[in-house]
């Protein structure tokens, strides 16, 4: 078994070799792809080279990042056209080139959307909404926010989504403000969240009648990270 790279193992060759694997699982680890190349060609490629080849494979499957962003407005318009009652709200920022503002161009900043069945469905749910955030990875970073309702049978129903630049106070105000306007106009809502300072500072600005409580799961995870005690973590959960 030869342990070094080979000049004939170009990015194109590696990309072709791993394309089906990346198609089946875009999150596949680079180390697994390196093992595949080693098994097939008896040469070990570098991590960086394999990572770049994986990005090229992803681009072949899903197109590149810039072209995808150019399709965003058409994607939003398609939502509204084909899914009647869909609510979308987008914020854009100033486009700067060579230190100068370009009036004819804008850049994506934030986006909020909710589907009509979700909006109508909330009328039949408890007045309790959970909000969660997940980091987005790739060339352009950000955070995906989601609002989740709970029906009388204990089922969860996603009711609104937002892509934001990060969990800042302004970004949370953008999301929660539009959530209230378009999806949850009821005067009193119980909002379940983690203990993020940005959320706590925004809730009263959105609606002074909203009651913000903290998610026991997040509290128990923070407890576990600090005290490393599974038994006590379960007690914290049961207390909630």
Give the list of residues 6+ apart from residue 220 with CB closer than 8 angstroms, or none: 233, 234, 236, 237, 240
CA distances from 95 to 66, 69, 143 (A): 14, 14, 21
Q: How much is the average pLDDT of 32-36?
A: 96
Report the pLDDT value the prediction gives residue 194, as an integer from 0 to 100.
Answer: 82
Strand partners, 149: 129, 157
Nearest to 86 by CA among 122, 121, 113, 50: 113
Write the pLDDT tens digit of every residue in 189-240: 999 888 777 787 788 888 878 888 776 666 666 666 777 777 776 776 666 5
Q: What is the pTM of this model?
A: 0.77
Question: For position 57, what pLDDT does the model report?
Answer: 96
- Give the residue among 216, 188, 217, 182 at the shortest CA–CA distance from 129: 188
Please state the rounded mean pLDDT for residues 127-131: 93
At 10 the three-state DSSP class reads coil
- The answer to whether the beta carbons of residues 105 and 92 sit under 8 Å apart is no
Crossing angle for the helix pair 169-182 and 197-206, nearest 10 degrees?
Answer: 40
CA distance linking residue 7 with residue 127, whole number of Å: 62
Q: Which of 64-73, 178-187, 211-220 has the highest mean pLDDT?
A: 178-187
Contact 60, 76 (CB under 8 A): no
Write down the pLDDT at residue 154.
Answer: 83
Split at pLDDT 50, 70, 90, the class of 2 is very low
8 A C-beta contact, residue 137 and residue 200? no
Q: Name beta bridge partners: 60.
A: none
């Amino acid at each position: 078994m030869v342990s070094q790279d080979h000049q004939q193992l170009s990015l194109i060759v590696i990309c072709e070799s791993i394309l089906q694997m990346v198609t089946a699982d875009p999150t596949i680890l680079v180390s697994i792809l390196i093992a595949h190349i080693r098994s097939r060609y008896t040469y070990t490629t570098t991590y960086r080279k394999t990572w770049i080849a994986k990005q090229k494979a992803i681009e072949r499957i899903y197109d590149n990042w810039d072209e995808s962003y150019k399709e965003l407005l058409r994607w939003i318009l398609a939502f509204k056209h084909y899914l009647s009652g869909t609510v979308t709200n987008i914020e854009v920022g100033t486009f700067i080139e060579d230190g100068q503002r370009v009036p004819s161009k804008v850049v994506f900043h934030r986006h909020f959307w909710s589907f009509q069945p979700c909006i109508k469905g909330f009328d039949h749910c408890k007045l309790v909404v959970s909000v969660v955030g997940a980091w987005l990875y790739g060339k352009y970073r950000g955070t995906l926010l989601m609002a989740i309702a709970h029906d009388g049978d204990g089922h969860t129903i996603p009711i609104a989504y937002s892509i934001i630049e990060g969990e800042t106070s302004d970004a949370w105000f953008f999301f929660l403000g539009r959530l209230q306007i378009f999806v949850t106009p009821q005067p009193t809502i119980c909002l379940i969240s983690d203990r993020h300072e940005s959320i706590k500072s925004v809730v009263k600005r959105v609606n002074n009648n909203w009651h913000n409580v903290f998610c026991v799961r997040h509290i128990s995870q923070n407890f576990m990270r600090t005290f490393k005690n599974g038994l006590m973590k379960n007690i914290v959960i049961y207390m909630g």
